[in-house]
Structure 1
Amino acid sequence: MIPIGRVAHVTGLSVKAIKYYEERGLVHPIRSGNQYRMYGMEDIRRLSEIKRLRQIGLSLEQIQSGLPVEMLLETRLDEVQSEIEQLHRIEKQIRLMQSGGNDMKVRYETLNEAIPVYGYAGTLEEIPHLWTKLQPNLTTDESYGVCLTQENGYVAGMTDLLAEEDTCRVELTKGNYIVAIVDGGISMISSTYEQLVRVPGVTLRDAVDFERYIHGQGGADDLIEIWMPIE
């Protein structure tokens, strides 16, 4: 058994922190005859573990939850991976803003005739729900997210007919388009739209713009393109 000052030295924690963890019930020192706190190896190892768990971002509430440390670590690892993905998205947005979109690869396409798309219609807020409905019925290698000309309208669909009664038909209008591949997945769609608008010499025409999803093979990620109608 060793006193609190020695515990602070070997764990790297302050005396104040050690007393606080005792108040929270995380360690249980015994009192010597002169009422000094004395710590055994179990408490010392627990304090060292708490310090490391706090360093990786776990809260005291999580540490006190009673869940196994292995489960806490898995949970935190999932959180860190999500944070890393978010930071990567932010990094891409910053680089796009720095370049003014000049490093974005665009091409120009012309649809010589309208393409019918059959799918489920709703609002922009309902996009995840619309795609969830479409996914089990998807019979093509491509699908489309069509932004309707009326405010807040959206269709998730494909070029094959759907049997359900609550479906609709919308046309991808013929004419000229500027097209860009979305680099970074669904979360970067909005940024890609913003960069396309900034391309010099582009004038939008009054027609639907759409997302074209080319579905991956063998588990590969979908390729996403933005098609914006231009003069």
Structure 2
Amino acid sequence: METRIVEVETFKVKGYAMKGPVAEIPGLWDGLNTEIANRGIVAEESFGLCLAMEGQEIYYLAGVEADLAEAFPEEAIVPAGKFIVALAEGGVSAIPTTFNALMAMDSVKMRHSFSFERYIHPAGSNGYDIEVWLPIE
């Protein structure tokens, strides 16, 4: 698995949030993607933020950068800092495996912040890539 270190400035994501089992996340994305299409928003990337995890319940926000989605109801601010990033090779089903592999790396010292997925879907493309972003020191 190839990784890279990226340092980002603070940014805001707006979209739709849920608290519940991980199995509800695809429905949240369906709703967000429908709204994006209905509003004519052109976003070349979107984000799935893990805001909190407690037992089997996740607090998750699916959204796009706030300047593209002012009317969306939920928002989260991703604090500036470093992240270790890896491609989730194999699509959505590879996201948990990729997160686990990053967290198991001896050289990784996690910091308190949001971890997230970044979905990269350039305008005009039919597919997308998924990157996993884990906050590090």
Structure 1 length as normaliser, TM-score? 0.51
Shift of 1:219: 4.7
Tell me how far apart the structure 2 counterparts of residues 194 and 119 of structure 1 sit (CA, whole Å): 26
Helix, strand or coil at the partner of 2:112? coil
**Structure 2 gaps, min length 5:** none
Bigger Rg, structure 1 or 2: 1
Name the Cα RMSD after superposition.
1.6
How far did residue 148 of structure 1 move?
A: 0.4
- Higher share of residues assigned helix: 1
Aligned to 1:8: none
Q: Equivalent of 2:35, from 121, 129, 137?
A: 137
Q: Which has the higher strand share?
A: 2
SS in 1 for 2:5: strand
Aligned pair in 2 of structure 1 residues 193, 163: CA closer, same or farther (>3 Å)? same
1:142/1:214 contact within 8 Å kept: yes
Q: Could you tell me which of 180, 193, 204 is aligned with 2:99?
A: 193
1:107 to 2:10 alignment: no
CA distance in 1, matches of 2:28, 2:122: 20
Flag as ranges the 4+ runs of structure 1 deviating above 4 A. Answer: 216-219
8 A contact 1:182–1:224 mirrored in 2: yes
1:134-192, CA deviations, whole angstroms, 9 ceiling, x for partnerless residues? 1023321110000003531000000122425xx21101211110000111110111111
Q: Which has the higher contact order (CA 8 A, sep 6+)?
A: 2
1:220 match: secondary structure: coil
Task: State the identity %.
Answer: 38
User: 1:121 aligned to 2:24?
Assistant: no
Q: Report what 1:157 is aligned to.
A: 63
Cα distance in 2 for partners of 1:173, 1:226 equals: 16
Q: How many residues are paired up?
A: 125
Cα distance in 2, alignment partners of residues 191 and 216 from structure 1: 25
TM-superposition CA deviations, 1:41-62 (whole Å, max 9, x none): xxxxxxxxxxxxxxxxxxxxxx
